[in-house]
Structure 1
Amino acid sequence: MPSYTGFDGTPLHYDDSAPGDRPPVVVLAGGAARHPDYLGDLAGLAERHRLVVPHLRGVGRSGLGSEPAGSYWQQAADVDKLRELLGRDRVVVVAHSAGTRLATAFAARFPDRVAGLALVTPPATHLVDTPPDAEQLIARRRGEAAFDAAEAAAKAGPDLSDEAAFNAWARACAPLGYATWGPAEQAHARVGRWALPAVQAYFSVDPPADFAARLARVGAPVLVIAGAEDCLTGLAPVVALAGLFPAGRAEVLPACGHYPWVERPDAFRRVLDEYLSLVEVDHHLG
Structure 2
Amino acid sequence: MPTYHAADGTPLHYDDSAPGDRPPVIVLAGGAARHPDYLGDLAGLRERHRLVVPHLRGVGHSPGGLEPERAGSYWQQAGDLEELREQLGRDRLVIAGHSAGTRLATAYAARFPERVAGLVLITPPAGHLVGTPPDAEELIARRRGEPVFDAAEAAVKSGPDLSGSAAFTAWHRACAPLSYAAWGPAEQAHARVGEWALPAVQAYFSVAPPADFAARLTRVTAPVLVVAGAEDCLTGLAPVVALAGLFPAGRAEVLPACGHYPWVERPHDFRRVLDEYLSLVEVDHHLG
The residue aligned with 1:51 is: 51
The residue aligned with 2:61 is: 61
Distance in 1 (alpha carbons) for counterparts of 2:78 and 2:32: 14
Give 2:277's aligned amino acid: Y
Q: Percent identity?
A: 85
Q: Which runs of 4+ in 1 moved over 4 A?
A: none
The structure 1 residue matched to 2:136, chosen from 109, 114, 134, is: 134
Q: Deviations over 1:28-79 (max 9, x none)?
A: 0000000000000000000000000000000000011211000000000001
The residue aligned with 1:231 is: 233
Distance in 2 (alpha carbons) for counterparts of 1:6 and 1:196: 22
Give 2:210's aligned amino acid: P
Distance in 2 (alpha carbons) for counterparts of 1:70 and 1:177: 25
The alpha-carbon deviation at position 283 of structure 1 amounts to: 2.0
Residue 207, structure 1, aligned to residue 209, structure 2: yes
Q: Deviations over 1:99-150 (max 9, x none)?
A: 0000000000000000000000000000000000000000000011111011
Distance in 2 (alpha carbons) for counterparts of 1:285 and 1:264: 29
Alignment of 1:10-49 (within 5 A): 10-49=10-49
Distance in 2 (alpha carbons) for counterparts of 1:107 and 1:153: 34
Q: Contact between 2:6 and 2:83, CA under 8 Å: does it hold in 1?
A: yes
Change in Cα spacing, 1:233 to 1:285, as seen in structure 2 (3 Å) is closer
The structure 2 residue matched to 1:193, chosen from 192, 195, 198, is: 195
Distance in 1 (alpha carbons) for counterparts of 2:177 and 2:240: 20
Secondary structure of 1:126's partner? coil
Distance in 1 (alpha carbons) for counterparts of 2:242 and 2:122: 13
The alpha-carbon deviation at position 164 of structure 1 amounts to: 1.2
The residue aligned with 2:171 is: 169
The alpha-carbon deviation at position 163 of structure 1 amounts to: 1.2
The residue aligned with 2:250 is: 248
Change in Cα spacing, 1:285 to 1:81, as seen in structure 2 (3 Å) is closer
Give 1:54's aligned amino acid: P
**What is the TM-score of this pair, normalised by structure 2?**
0.98
The alpha-carbon deviation at position 284 of structure 1 amounts to: 1.3
The residue aligned with 1:8 is: 8
The alpha-carbon deviation at position 285 of structure 1 amounts to: 7.5
Secondary structure of 1:257's partner? coil
The residue aligned with 2:261 is: 259
Which structure 1 residue ranges, 5 or more long, are not aligned? none
The alpha-carbon deviation at position 222 of structure 1 amounts to: 0.1
Distance in 1 (alpha carbons) for counterparts of 2:54 and 2:258: 26
Q: Contact between 2:91 and 2:287, CA under 8 Å: does it hold in 1?
A: no
Secondary structure of 1:217's partner? coil
Give 1:222's aligned amino acid: V
Q: How many residues align?
A: 286
Q: Contact between 2:92 and 2:115, CA under 8 Å: does it hold in 1?
A: yes
Give 1:271's aligned amino acid: V
Distance in 2 (alpha carbons) for counterparts of 1:219 and 1:240: 17
Q: Contact between 2:23 and 2:287, CA under 8 Å: does it hold in 1?
A: no
The structure 1 residue matched to 2:89, chosen from 87, 90, 115, is: 87
The residue aligned with 2:286 is: 284
**What is the TM-score of this pair, normalised by structure 1?**
0.99
Which structure 2 residue ranges, 5 or more long, are not aligned? none
Distance in 2 (alpha carbons) for counterparts of 1:107 and 1:158: 31
Give 1:182's aligned amino acid: G
Distance in 1 (alpha carbons) for counterparts of 2:133 and 2:144: 21
Q: Contact between 2:226 and 2:250, CA under 8 Å: does it hold in 1?
A: yes
Distance in 1 (alpha carbons) for counterparts of 2:170 and 2:7: 33
Give 2:161's aligned amino acid: D
Q: Contact between 2:92 and 2:287, CA under 8 Å: does it hold in 1?
A: no
The residue aligned with 1:184 is: 186
Give 1:75's aligned amino acid: Q
Secondary structure of 2:286's partner? helix
